[in-house]
Amino acid sequence: MKKAFKIIGVVFLILIIALFLTPILFKGSIEKMVKKAANDNVNAQIEWASLDLSLFRNFPNASLSLEEVSVINKAPFEGDTLVYVKNFNIAMGVMQLFKDEGLKIDQIYLNDALINVKVDSLGNSNYDIAKTAEASEISETTETKKAEKPFQLNLNHYEINSSTINYLDESGNIFLKLKEFNHSGDGDFAESVFTLKTLTDSKISFDFDGTNYLKDNSIVLDADLEMDLENMKFTFLDNEALVNQLPLQFEGYVQLFENYNDIDIQFSTPSSDFKNFLALIPEAYASNLDGVTTTGDFKLNGVIKGKVDETYIPTLDISASSSNASFQYTDLPKKVDDISLNIELKNESGLVEDTYINFNDVKFRIDQDRFAGSGSVKNLTTNMLVDLQAKGRLNLANLKKAYPIDLEQDLSGFLDVDLVTNFDMNSIEQEAYDNVNAKGLLQLSKFDYDSPDLAKPIHIEVATVNFTTNAIQLNKFEMSAGSTDLKMNGNLNNLMGFAFADKPLKGTFDAASKTFNVADFMVESDTEVAASENSNSDKTAETTEEIKIPDFLDIVLNFRAENVIYDNLNLKNVTGSMALQNESAVLNNINADIFGGNIKLDGNVSTKETTPNFDMKMSLNTIKIIEAVQQMELIKGLAPIAQVLNGVATTSINLKGDLTKDLMPIYTSLAGDLLAKIISADIEQENMTLVSNLNKQFQLLNFDKYKIKDLVAKLNFKNGAINADNFDFKLDDVKVDVSGSHSFDNTMNYNLKFNVPAKYFGDEIGGQLAKLSNIDVSKFNVDVPVNLSGSFTSPKINLNMDKAITSLTSQIIQAQKEKATDQVKDKIGNEINNLLGGNKTSKDSTDTSTEEVKDKVKNTLEGLFKKKKNN
C-alpha cells in the first residue's frame, strides 16, 4: 500500500510540474500559431503587448490570454482603431495543446473592449477585414488548408464585459453607442441548431440625421434564442427586456441571407399599467417609480416586419396609447390628471422616407391648467413635413411640483399657447418663410428665472408673440434684471428656424429703457488675468466678469435709454442702433450725453475669438475734461496731462485692439489716432507731480494763472506707445512747442520748448541787460528747451541752458548790430550837416563785445533757473 501511495505521489508531482512547464514549453509555438492565424485571415494590423498561457486560470481548461490587443485598419480607414481590448482570453481543453490539427476554442472573454464600427459615405465598412480566398489560400489544396487550420471554434460560453461599442454610418447619418456594455452567451456552437441563452445590459444612445432619440437609456435583455446556423435564422424564445424601467416581451425571428436580411418581430408590454409610460423616461429624469400612484392604462405594441437591404427597411407599426390616466409621486404635492395619449410610428412601404409619426391626441391637466396637442411629422429622412396644433396653459412652477425634474433653479410664471402651424424643413433651412403657415399666440408672463449663468435674476412681466399668415411679431416684451428695465417690440423673421432647425434668431426690434445697467448681465468666471497689461503688477489668477455676445442672435436693435450704466460711466439720453450677429455687436450712430457734453460711437465689438476685440470711432464733443479723466481710464492712459486741465475739450478717437473678458481695452494692443482740441482750460498743477515740478523749475512762470485756449493736438498709438505729432500752444504770451511720446505704463520722453518773453525776467534783470547792451531787451523772447523723461508721477526735468543762453545772446548781438547800423547812418548824416555848417555829433559808445553779452546773459539766466532745477 505504501508503495502505491508513493507511485501516486510521484505521478501527482509529475503532473504538477507538467502544469507549470507546459505553458513555458508551448508558449512560443502557441504565439506563432496565433500570429499566423491573424496574418493569414485578417487584412489589418494586429498587435498585443503580451501573451500568457496558463493551465490554472480556467482549470481544467488551458487559458490563452492576450493583453492590450489592438486591431488597426488599413486603407481606406488606415490608422483607425477598429478594436482595442485590454484583456482577451480564450479557453480550451488541456489536451488541445498536444494535438497537431490546431486548437479548438471552447470559451472567449473580452474585458474592457472598445469597438469602433464605421461605414463611410461610399459604403465601405471598416470591419470588412477578412482576407479573400485568393489572398490567403493561393496554391493551397483543400486538404492542405484543412491540415493547417490553426483554430476551430467550438464555443460553449463567451463574455464581453465593461466595454463600449460605437457604430457610425455616414451614408445613413446614423450613430449608435453602447457603453458599459456587458453580454454573455451559453450554447453549443458545435451543433447546427441549438439554444443560446444570453444576458445583456448596457446604456444605449442613438442619433439619426442629427437628432438625438436615445441618450444613455438603460437596456436589460434576458433572452433565449434558437440558433439555426445552417440557415442563419435566429428565433426569440423565452425573453424578458427592460428599456429604462419599461418591461417588454419579444417574439419572432431574424434571418440572414446573402443579399438581404428578413425580420419579423413583435413586442408589447406585459401589462397595461400607466406606470409603463413613466418607465419609458430615463430614470435620471423620471426618478424611481417605487411608490408612484397611477390610474388608467398604457399600452405599447409594435410589429417590425420585412426585409432589410440597400433599398428597404422593415415595415413599422408601433403604437402607444393611454386614456383617462393620472400619476402622482409620493413626495410631490401636485398630481397630473386627465392624461390621454395616442401616438403612432408607422412605415407601410418599407421605404425609409415613408416613415411618419402621428400625435393623434396628447392631453394632460395639472390643477386647473390644461394642455392639449396633436399633429404629425412625415418624411422623416427627406424634406420633413411638420403639422402641429397646441393649446393650453402651463403654470411653470407646478412642473417641478408634479414631476421630479432636476432643475438647477426654480421656474415660475405662465406659458399660454394657442398655435396652429405647418411647414417643411427645407423651407425653414432655406429661410423661405413664405411657405410656413402659422397662426396663433405664444405668451410668457410673470416669468422668473435665476441661474449661475446669469448675473442677476431675470423677471419677464410679459412676452407676447403673435403668429399671422404674413409675419411673426413680438407685440410686447417687458423685462427687468437688477436695476435694469427693458421694453421691446418688433418682427421675428425666423422663429421657426430658431426653434426647429438650430438657426440664429433673426429680427428687428425697437427697445426702450429707463435704466440699463450692463453689470446686471455680466457673469463671473475664474480667469488668469494679465494684470500687467494695464499696470506694472504680475499675472494673477482672479475672478473676472465675462461678457459674451450670444451666438444664436442675428438681430438689429434700435434703442433709446434714459440712463445706461457701464462700469463707472453713466450715459444719459442714449440713442442708436446695434446689430448683434455672429457673436459680434455692430454699433451705428450711438449718441449719448456724458461728461457735460456728448459722445458719438460707431464701430464693432466681437467676442467670437478667445480674446475679444473691437474697432471703434468715437467723438467726444464739448466735454468736461476732469470728468472724462476721472471716469474713463482710456483717456487718462492716452493723454495723462489731461489730469491737470479743468475745462472743456472736443476729441475724436479712432481705435482698435483687444479686450479683456469684461470688454475693457488691453492697452498694449491698441492702435489708432486721436485728435484733441482744448477749447478752454485752466491748469491745476497740484493734480500732477510733473506740472508742479515744472512750475517750481520756472520761477518766472506760474502755471496756475494761465488758461489754455484752442490747443489742437494729434496723437497716434500702436503697441502700447503714444506718439505726439509736433504741436504748440500758448500760456498767455508764452509759446510752448511739444513733441515726443509716452506709453500706457506711465513712462515718457518729451521735448518742450518754452518761448519766454524777456519781460518775464523782471525790471531789475531786464535793466541790467539793457545797461550792458545799451538796447531795450523787453521785446526779446528766450527759447528754453526742456526734456521730460521718467514718468508722469516721478518725472526727470532737464533744461538746456546752453541753447537758452545762445538764443538770447544772438538776439542781443543782432539788436546791437542793427542799432550800430542806424548810428552809422546818423553819423554820415551829421558829417554832411557839418559840411553844410550843421551841428557836431558826440562819439558812439554802443559797442559791446559778444563775450561780454554772453557772460552777462549766462549769469542772468542761471540766476533765474539754477535755484529751481529738479534733481
Domain locations in the chain as residue ranges = 511-727, 781-868
User: In angstroms, rounded to a whole number, what is the distance separating the alpha carbons of residues 239 and 220?
Assistant: 11
pLDDT for 112 = 94
For residue 88 the three cell numbers come to: 482577451
Amino acid at 195: T
Mean pLDDT of the chain: 79
pLDDT value, residue 3: 43
Out of 13-22, 91-100, 429-438, 445-454, pick the least confident.
13-22
The pLDDT, as a whole number, for residue 621 is 93
Residue 841 pLDDT grade (very low, low, confident, very high; cuts 50, 70, 90): very low
Please give the pLDDT value at position 717: 85
Those residues whose C-beta lies under 8 Å from the C-beta of residue 191, and which sit 6 or more positions away, are: 229
Q: Output the pLDDT for position 180.
A: 94
Give yes or no for a contact between 464 and 476, defined as CB atoms under 8 angstroms apart: yes
- pLDDT at position 663: 79
Terminus-to-terminus CA distance in the chain, angstroms?
Answer: 118
What does the alpha-carbon distance between residue 348 and residue 654 come to, in Å, rounded to a whole number?
A: 67
Q: What is the mean pLDDT of residues 60-73?
A: 81
Predicted local confidence at residue 207, as pLDDT: 83
For residues 542 and 534, is the Cβ–Cβ distance under 8 A?
no
Residues in the chain: 871
Max mean pLDDT among 445-459, 519-533, 594-608, 825-839 falls in 594-608
The dihedral through the CA atoms of 146, 147, 151, 155 has a sign that is positive
Instruction: State the Cα–Cα distance between residues 535 and 735, nearest whole angstrom.
Output: 34
Asked if 650 contacts 623 with a C-beta cutoff of 8 angstroms, the reply is yes
Quote the crossing angle between the two packed helices 850-865 and 801-835, to the nearest 10°: 140
Question: 568 with 595: CB under 8 angstroms?
Answer: no
Question: Residue 472's CB: how many other CB atoms inside 10 A?
Answer: 19
Please give the pLDDT value at position 842: 44
* CA atoms of 850 and 871, how far apart (whole Å): 32
pLDDT band for position 45 (50/70/90)?
A: confident
The pLDDT of residue 514 is above 80: yes
Q: pLDDT > 70: what percent of the chain?
A: 76
As a 3-state breakdown, the chain gives helix, strand, coil percent values, each rounded to 5, of 25, 55, 25
**How does pLDDT run across 192-228, given as a tens digit for each residue?**
899 999 999 999 888 876 767 777 888 899 999 999 9
pLDDT for the residue numbered 471: 76
The backbone region for 561, taken as left when phi is positive above 0, alpha when psi lies in -120 to 50, beta otherwise, is beta
Cell of 477: 416684451
Residue 837's pLDDT is: 44
Q: Which of 94-98, 516-520, 617-621 has the highest mean pLDDT?
A: 617-621
pLDDT at 285: 65
Encoded amino acid at 650, one letter: T
Residue 490's identity, in one-letter code, is: G
Count the helices and strands in the chain (H runs, E runs): 14, 40
Contact 767, 747 (CB under 8 A): no
Does the structure show a pLDDT above 90 at 561? yes
- Range with the poorest average pLDDT among 349-358, 560-569, 753-762: 753-762
Per-residue confidence band for 772, with pLDDT thresholds at 50, 70 and 90: low
- Residue 321 reports pLDDT greater than 60: yes
Q: Which three cell numbers stand for residue 742?
A: 509716452
Task: Report the C-alpha gap between 468 and 463 in whole angstroms.
Answer: 17
pLDDT of residue 361: 85
Which residue bears the cell 488668469?
Answer: 528
Averaged over 796-808, what is the pLDDT? 76
Q: Coil, strand, or helix at residue 663?
A: coil
Quickly tell me which residue has 410610428 as its cell: 345
Q: For residues 736 and 754, is the Cβ–Cβ distance under 8 A? A: yes
Predicted local confidence at residue 472, as pLDDT:
84
What confidence score (pLDDT) does residue 44 get?
84
pLDDT of the residue at 524: 58
The per-residue pLDDT for range 391-416, each reduced to its tens digit, is 999 999 998 899 887 776 778 899 99
Residue 847: burial class (beta carbons within 10 Å; 0-12, 13-18, 19+): exposed
DSSP string over 785-811: EEEEEEBSSSEEEEE-HHHHHHHHHHH
pLDDT of residue 809: 72
Sequence-separated (6 or more) residues with CB below 8 Å from residue 116: 80, 81, 82, 83, 126, 166, 168
CA angle 675, 677, 678 (to 5 degrees): 140
Binned at pLDDT 50, 70 and 90, residue 283 comes out as: low
pLDDT value at position 55? 59
Q: Give the model's confidence band at 10: pLDDT under 50 very low, under 70 low, under 90 confident, else very high.
A: very low
The alpha-helical segments, DSSP class H, found in 68-148 are 133-136, 142-147
Cβ neighbours of residue 746 under 8 Å, at least 6 residues apart?
A: 640, 791, 792, 793
Average pLDDT of 703-732? Answer: 83
Q: CA separation (Å) from 713 to 675, 726, 793?
A: 6, 8, 22
Q: Which residue has the higher pLDDT, 837 or 366?
A: 366
Point out which residues pair with 577 in neighbouring strands: 558, 588
151: CB partners within 8 A, 6+ apart: 37, 102, 103, 104, 105
Lowest mean pLDDT among 223-232, 534-543, 590-599, 774-783: 534-543
Q: What integer is the mean pLDDT of 462-467?
A: 92
Which of 267-276, 369-378, 821-830 shows the highest mean pLDDT? Answer: 369-378
Judged by average pLDDT, the poorest of 63-72, 489-498, 524-533, 811-820 is: 524-533
Closest to 518 in 3D by CA, of 545, 550, 544, 542 = 545
pLDDT in tens, 17-37: 444 444 444 555 666 666 666
Q: In this structure, what C-alpha cell is assigned to residue 686?
A: 497740484
pLDDT in tens, 334-360: 999 999 999 999 999 998 888 899 998
- Asked, as a colleague might, if the bond just before 23 is cis with ω within 30 of 0, I would say no
CA–CA separation, 618 and 595 (whole Å) = 14
Question: Does the pLDDT value for residue 633 go beyond 70?
Answer: yes
Q: Is 644 helix (H, G, I), strand (E, B) or coil?
A: helix
Contact 752, 788 (CB under 8 A): yes
* Average confidence (pLDDT) over 459-476: 87
CA distance 754 to 738: 9
pLDDT of the residue at 855: 66
pLDDT-derived band of residue 862, with 50, 70 and 90 as boundaries?
A: low
Short-list 751, 709, 701, CA closest to 729: 709
Q: Are strands 103-119 and 151-169 parallel, antiparallel or unpaired?
A: parallel
How confident is the model at residue 776, as a pLDDT? 62
